[in-house]
Amino acid sequence: METFDSTKRSLFEILKDVHSGKIQLPDFQRDWIWDDNRIKGILASIAKSYPIGAIMLLETGNENVRFKIKPVEGVKLNNDIKPDLLILDGQQRITSLYQTIITNEIVTTRNEKNYEIKRWYYIDMLKAMDESYDLEEAIISVNEKKQITEDFGRRIVLDLSKKEFEFENLMYPVSMIDDYSVWRREFYEYWQYDREKSMFWDKFEDRIVNSFNKYMLPVIIMKKENPKEAVCQVFEKVNTGGVSLNVFELLTATFAADEFDLKTDWQRIKEEFKNYKLLSKVSSTDIIQAITLLATYFKKLKQAEQNIPDEDLPAVSCKRKDMLNLSLQDYRKYRDLVVKGFIKASKILFENHIFTARDLPYTTQLIPMSAILAVFGDEIDNIGYKRKLMQWFWCGVFGELYGSANETRYALDLPQVVDWIENDGPKPKTIYDANFSPSRLHTLRTRNSAAYKGIYALLMDDETRDWLSATKIDLSTYFSESIDIHHIFPVAWCEKNNIKKEEYNCIINKTPLSSRTNRIVSGEAPSKYLKRIQKHAGVSDEEFHNILKSHVLSPEFLYADDFEKFFSDRKEQILQRIEKAMNKHIPREEIQAEEGIYISEDNKEE
């Protein structure tokens, strides 16, 4: 079956169909955005009979590919006219030509500095007929008063505010190309039927006006039988506007056909998320993906209960195609469950010392996590259930498994984690795939790494206390004390003592401290600044040592200013903390490059 037709249509035939509403836009198309120079450029191209590219249209009438529609900007329709065709590609070109040629109204556009301006468009007839000029130089635009001015508007260089001024200056309005006979008659009258001017007009009409009237556009028409994902994919691949649309925007147009405002609903969800700092970076597409994941999961469960063979069951999936096919019914059915799932995920991660979106290892991991929590609801508060959930979470973090295309992993996570938690089924693939190499600790230096953020959270267990205030680092002190991760052996001391930057700057030499404590640390040796901090804190030696130990380190190496022993000891203690979180043994001999590639000891570089 042919999925499209390729043909040519007259530019004016297309523009008149736009004017009548036979051709309109799907509502996922962005607003018209072309600037003044691009408008002049496309007018010049048509005047020269140069190609401006094909436009792509979609036949309407497919009930499975329904979009809310809107007329091209500038079109005034008296009633709701159902279009025959929708513009998929070519909106900017068609809108520019429609507004400049058909409407006979001032065009709102933008200048080179992106400021909004209002312009009328003219063709300088003398330049257009002079071979020494490029036709592009003959296309001019003037302000709302139909004037070109200098000296901040004090001096009028060109005035076209009256028709006789247009005739006198030989400036032809682009808006009269469609119906040039009236302007031509008045032009003749103004010049009193001067033979030379009449001949000049005839040549102008033949060369320029007829170029517009005879211009043919290549048109590709997608047939209405095409599925929705094909339409959306084609739109994104061929659209020349340069602005990519996401799934949320495409679904917004689909749901709007059933009078549901997805954008307004997303604003409501954002209001619900407002009190949860950890959810501040969750996107509208994340929500759609989680809902799709949940909808396909329950659909498979329902059909499995009907004893349908496994090979005939639909897949749990949340790929682009599945999201685009999400029905409004399923969105409404699972929306609240998923929103509650995200909020529950936020609360559980709060309990595990991940307090803000900045500290969240992977925003992407919230998608399967919210779907899992949507399935369990409050049942997840069972301590055994929650422990398993967090093992899956930490394996994803320290295995660094959610940093690229994740749709396939999400689709496995939801059924596998639910089955593992609820029915003690096989361990999920994410847990099986997770590996952490001891050498990775040496390369974790910034928050750009998910594992770095994960260790930061693990270092703030229930007993971790700030060195100076001796207060436990929890949600309240995290913000009130401006807790952040800081060097234990200060940078200045390390550089003075020839410690390698890759060692003193990695996570092993960092710990969460308040900004006030860090100021006292200064750049001195630990043996010096620790005494000063203890004095300010006003605690006994034993209590202060216990505070230091809560940061997963051995105080004696700090007091001895022994970086090497401190580094080796703390590395081991952190590895033990990671092992506990993942509930997996970490082979100590394994080394790993920053990119996450594992290298055996035999192949280790000298």
pLDDT for residue 239: 54
Structure tokens given for 5: 């037709």
Of 380-384, 417-421, 434-438, 513-517, minimum mean pLDDT range: 513-517
pLDDT band at 593 (very low <50, low <70, confident <90, very high): very low
pLDDT at 477 exceeding the cut of 80: no
The domain tally of the chain equals 4
In this prediction, what percent of the chain has a pLDDT beyond 70? 88
How much is the pLDDT for 31? 67
- For the chain, what is the radius of gyration of the CA atoms? 34
Asked if the model's pLDDT at residue 2 lies above 80, the reply is: no
The answer to whether the Cα torsion of 514, 516, 521, 526 is positive or negative is: negative
For residues 461 and 501, membership in a common domain is answered with: yes
Residues 209-230: what's their mean pLDDT?
Answer: 86
- Is residue 570's pLDDT more than 90? yes
Domain that holds residue 92: 4-107+215-238
**CA-CA-CA-CA torsion sign (337, 343, 346, 348):** negative
Which pLDDT belongs to residue 595?
42
The pLDDT of residue 603: 34
pLDDT band for 601, please (50, 70, 90 cuts).
very low
Q: Assess whether 388 and 428 both reside in one domain.
A: yes
Inside any domain, residue 9:
yes
Q: In the prediction, which pLDDT does 509 show?
A: 92
For 3-35, write each residue's pLDDT tens digit.
678 889 999 999 999 999 999 988 765 666 789
From 387, 417, 434, give the residue that closes a domain.
Answer: 434
Q: What digits encode the pLDDT tens for the residues 36-52?
A: 999 999 999 999 999 99
Instruction: Give per-residue pLDDT as tens, 282-340.
Output: 999 999 999 999 999 999 888 877 776 666 567 899 998 899 889 999 999 999 999 99
Of residues 454 and 239, more confidently modeled = 454
Residue 172 pLDDT grade (very low, low, confident, very high; cuts 50, 70, 90) = very high
Same domain, residue pair 528 and 468: yes
Task: Find the range with the poorest average confidence among 129-138, 255-264, 447-456, 565-574.
Answer: 255-264
* Whether residue 584 sits in one domain with residue 471: yes
Q: Which of 281, 303, 301, 304 is nearest to 293 (CA)?
A: 301
225 vs 470: which has the higher pLDDT: 225
Strands 69-70 and 23-26: antiparallel
Q: Cβ of 220: how many Cβ atoms within 10 Å?
A: 18
Whether 65 contacts 3, CB under 8 Å: no
Asked whether residue 141 is domain-assigned, the answer is yes
Name the pLDDT band for 594 (thresholds 50, 70, 90).
very low
Domain end residue (candidates: 377, 403, 434):
434
**How many of the other CB atoms lie within 10 Å of CB of 262?**
20
Residues 267 and 174 in one domain: no
Nearest CA among 441, 470, 436 for reference residue 551: 470
**How do residues 482-529 score in pLDDT, each as one tens digit?**
667 788 999 999 999 999 999 999 999 998 877 777 676 777 899 998
Question: Does 549 score more than 80 pLDDT?
Answer: yes
pLDDT tens string 371-385: 999 999 999 999 999
Same structural domain for residues 285 and 429? Answer: yes
Distances (CA, A) of 425 to 302, 387, 428: 19, 15, 9
pLDDT score of 597 more than 50: no
Rounded (5°) CA angle 380-386-389: 105
> Is 181 found in the same domain as 89?
no
Chain mean pLDDT for the chain: 87
pLDDT score, position 606: 24
C-alpha distances in Å from residue 379, one per residue of 155, 296, 366, 582: 77, 21, 18, 22
Are residues 458 and 386 part of one domain? Answer: no
In whole angstroms, what is the distance from residue 452 CA to residue 445 CA?
7
Residue 532 has pLDDT above 80, yes or no: yes
Determine, yes or no, domain membership for 221.
yes
Do 354 and 486 lie in a common domain? no
**Are 424 and 458 in the same domain?**
no
Whole-number Å distance between alpha carbons of 82 and 70: 10
Whether the per-residue pLDDT at 270 is higher than 90: the answer is yes
Pair 281, 323 in one domain? yes
| Backbone phi, psi, residue 82, to 5° | -80, 125
Alpha helices in 407-511 (DSSP H): 407-423, 429-433, 450-458, 475-480, 491-496, 501-504
